Structure 1
Amino acid sequence: MAYTGHGASKMPREDRDAVALLGQVHRVDLMPAVESALAAAEAVDMSDVPLPSETAGETFRSRLAAARPDLTTEARAALADTWLFRRLWLDLPAQVENPRVQYFARFGIEDGERVPWALYRRVRDGESVVDSVLKDVGEWRADRNRVIWSSTVNPLEADIEPISARQALEFEQMVAERRYRPFST
C-alpha cells in the first residue's frame, strides 16, 4: 500500500478515490488490500494510551507494524494519520473502544518527586458518561466533586492529567501497597 497523498480536500476519505483511480491506471484492483489495511488499523487497541499525547502516533505505528508487518513504513504512517484524524478531529470512536475508559491522575510532590495521589476514571458507553474516583483498591465512587467535568470545562485550571490504562493499573498497585512513587512508564 502506498500513500497517495491528499485528494481535493485534506479529508482522509479522499484517499479511497485516489487508490481506486491508481488501480484503474495500473489495471489492478487495489481496494481489497486497502480495505484489509484499514480494517487492521481500526483493530489496533489504543485504549491504554491517552489521546492526545506525544507518544500516540509512534505507539499506534508500532502496534500496527506488529499486527501487519507486510505494510511499509509509509503505509503505517498514512494509516496512523487517518486513525488519529478520525479520533482527534472527527471524535469518532475506535472499534475496540467500547466502552471507552479514560483515566486521570492528580499529582503531588513527595520527597522532591512528582507522584500521583488520586486516580479518576471516566467511562463512556455511547449513551452515558460515568465519572468516578478510586477510594481504595477496587473501590470506585462517584466523582461528586465533578473533578473530571471541571477539567474538561475549564482545562486551563485543571489539576488532573490524562494517564494511560497501564499507569492507572500501576496506581492501583501503589494503593494496595500504600506506597506512592512516580510512574515507571
Structure 2
Amino acid sequence: MERKQEAGVILRAMEPEDLDMLYHIENDRSLWNIASTNVPYSRYALHNYIADAKNDIYMDGQIRMMIENLAHEVVGVIDLVDFDPKHQRAELGIIIMKRFRRRGYAQAAISSLIEYARKVLHLRQIYAVVSVSNEVSQRCLASLGFIGDSVLKEWIYCDGHYQDARVMQFFV
C-alpha cells in the first residue's frame, strides 16, 4: 500500500516491525472499553495477522494502517472495519498512543483516511460508534464533519456497567 500523508501524519501499511506496537495496543486493557476487544492477543497471533493481511478491504473486510508523524514515529493505529461492500460503508476505529494525544494527530489521520476512502476505496459512508462520555472523540469527529444524533442505549459494557453510545456518520 502506498503511503498517505496529510497535515503532519503519514498513514502506511503495517510492517513486521510494528508487532511490538500492536502487541502493546491490543493488550492495553484501558483501551478495551472503546473497542470490542476483551481478550489479550499473543505475539504469535498478531504476527500472523500482520503477515496475512492483504491490505485490501475487499479481501480482508477491513483495512488497518499505522499512523506516523513526520518524524516517522508511530503515534497510533487507524482502521476501517465491518466493511459492507453492498452499502459501501465501514466503521472507523482509531487509537492514538497516550503520549501523542491532543496534538492533532487523530484529526489529521481521520482526515487523511477520509480522502483515501473517497479517492481509492470509493466508500459512501464512514461511521463511528463512540461512548457518549467520550466528548473529546465526539468533538474531533464533529470538527471533521461527522454528524450523529442517534444514541444506542446501553451499547458499551465497561467496568461492570453499560454506557450509551453515539453513532456518528460521515458521508464521503
**For this structure pair, what is the TM-score category when the shorter chain's length is used for normalisation?**
under 0.3
Higher normalized helix content (fraction of residues): 1
Higher normalized strand content (fraction of residues): 2
Q: Which structure has the bigger radius of gyration?
A: 1
How does the TM-score come out when normalised to structure 2?
0.25
How does the TM-score come out when normalised to structure 1?
0.24
